[in-house]
Structure 1
Amino acid sequence: MHDGVHLSAWLVRQRAARRRGTLTEDRVTALDGLAMDWDPGHGIGDTRAAQAWQQRLADACAFHAAHGHLRIPAKSYVNGRRLDAWIGSNAPGADKVTSPPTRSPHWTPCT
């Protein structure tokens, strides 16, 4: 809070006004000059998620290199996280609603 105003709430209102087209161009320019994040859903958190996904991909590729397949045994942990669950939720055709997901045991993200 700054001078009785919640900055985060104010920023939400500015973003909404810009989407509606009611935020004046001079205000857009002023906020751009402050490196305004107009789409905060694509910030640091997304970068970390992308890095985590890349790490899991590297884990899967290492498993594939060692075993020649991605038929990961149930409850297999690599680097402290379940690799079988990650493969199941990222394989082409995986249905995240049903369990277990159907996928080809020959699918590989490493090629």
Structure 2
Amino acid sequence: MRLYLDEDVDVALAAALRQRGIDVLTTQEAGHLGLPDADQLTFATRGERVFFTHNRGDFARLHQEMMREGRSHAGIILSDQLPVSVLLRRLSNLCFRLTQEEMTTRLEFLGSWG
């Protein structure tokens, strides 16, 4: 699974995920700091990357809006702010159990991934 990490995510997580073989791009690396939420999700979708963020409220609403309008996205994963070690374990579990295709237009809450 290919991930795009929002600017509110610790960049140390990206390095740790890469060590596990997960393809990760951060908003900082993409030069997209400060872009509106919808533009971040559009960028992720065009790049076929699942979007990971701690901005639960805004992206849950954006997902619902897109579903109502019949639009798709590459997937959204939402999480509370947690230690990098916890995020790494949970994201790794999700990335190795679901495919990129299974994440299409899906909204996942990371808390359910142990």
Which structure carries more relative contact order (alpha carbon 8 Å, separation 6+)? 2
Shorter-chain TM-score category?
Answer: under 0.3
Higher strand share: 2
